[in-house]
Amino acid sequence: MSHRDARIRLLLVDDHLVVRIGLRSLLEVQPDMLVVAEAAGGTSAIAAFDQHRPDVTLMDLRMPDLSGTEATAAIRKKHPEARVLVLTTFDHDEDIYRALEAGATGYLLKNADSETLLGTIRAVHAGQYVLPGPLAARLARRQAAPELTPRELEVLQLIVEGMCNKEIGAKLGLSENTIKNHVKMILDKLGVADRTQAATTALRRGLATLD
């Protein structure tokens, strides 16, 4: 096998061109790595993977067309052997949980130093699952937490947006009493005492967003 053939073949997925340029400049000077393709979104990432079959895919999470989590799930469904390393700025508990649930084999923040990134790529290529210690501890806590239903997540998002129970009920077509019951379940599952704490916890864990 030639030296070039033995390189770790990489697919870079990020909607920011400057990030891809920076990654490529770092990775392509490594004697054991080769960038075979780039994609600016989840949909194009799936197509690029189908075409190039990279050894490791570096996947961003937040992209305009299809999220990195959705793209990872689609790739792993078609190619169970695929190795996807999530490389993102987002460290919310829910982001970590959903990415690994989708089939990611590693999770790393973009503020990691170059040696950590290179070592993680090599580890993922070797078949290891890589999750930095602090993120692993948070994932364990997230996995132990009760799961919110889709309806509860809807209600939680509207709580974060500042709506009262009556307003939430009107928006979702539900009675105010039903919303009160949902709110009670949300507080119980999140382990918080009131709506303010629920909103804060939701934002910290990535269960809701504030645009």
> Per-residue pLDDT tens for 157-207?
999 999 999 999 999 999 999 999 999 999 998 888 999 999 988 888 778
Both 187 and 86 in one domain: the answer is no
Is it the case that residue 75 has pLDDT exceeding 60?
yes
Whether 2 maps to a domain, the answer reads no
Residue with tokens 């290891």: 128
Both 42 and 131 in one domain: the answer is yes
pLDDT for position 24: 96
Q: Which domain holds residue 190?
A: 150-205
Whether 1 maps to a domain, the answer reads no
DSSP state letters, 116-143: HHHHHHHHHHTT--B--HHHHHHHHHHH
CATH code of the domain containing 38: 3.40.50.2300
To the question of pTM greater than 0.85 for the whole model, the response is no
Both 55 and 130 in one domain: the answer is yes
Is it the case that residue 128 has pLDDT exceeding 70?
yes
pLDDT for position 40: 95
Of 124, 143, 162, which marks where a domain is finished?
143
Both 154 and 128 in one domain: the answer is no
Average pLDDT across the chain, whole number: 89
Share of the chain above pLDDT 90, in %: 67
Both 162 and 89 in one domain: the answer is no
CATH code of the domain containing 173: 1.10.10.10
DSSP letter (8 states) at residue 78: H
Mean pLDDT along residues 22-41: 96
Whether 211 maps to a domain, the answer reads no
pLDDT for position 184: 93
Is it the case that residue 64 has pLDDT exceeding 90?
no
- Residue 4: which pLDDT band, with cuts at 50, 70 and 90? very low
Share of the chain above pLDDT 70, in %: 91
pLDDT for position 143: 62
Sheet holding 56-59, edge to edge: 33-39, 8-13, 56-59, 84-88, 106-109
Mean pLDDT along residues 129-133: 79
pLDDT, tens digit, for every residue of 42-59? 999 999 999 999 999 999
